[in-house]
Amino acid sequence: MLSARDRRDRPPEEGVVAELQGFAVDKAFFTSHKGILLETELVFGIILVSVFAYDALKIYRTEMAPGAIQGDQQ
């Protein structure tokens, strides 16, 4: 039976098992139709969230913030 030390000192395995270890980027996936669609969805999602956040901040500044300032002056 191999101890933890023996397993740690072995050279890395080759083949399919070695390819599955770690976080490798699959370039073939990103150039496929599904990968391009995923990239487009992510970029569109980031833009959409940014627009919503900007709009929410703009509405907050115009409607909520001046009401608090006017209430303090009275």
Global pTM value:
0.50
Distances from the Cα of 18 to the Cα of 13, 14, 22, 25, angstroms: 5, 5, 9, 14
pLDDT digits (tens, 9 = 90+) for 15-65: 655 556 666 677 888 889 999 999 999 989 999 999 999 999 999 998 887
Question: Distance from CA of residue 43 to its chain's centroid?
Answer: 10
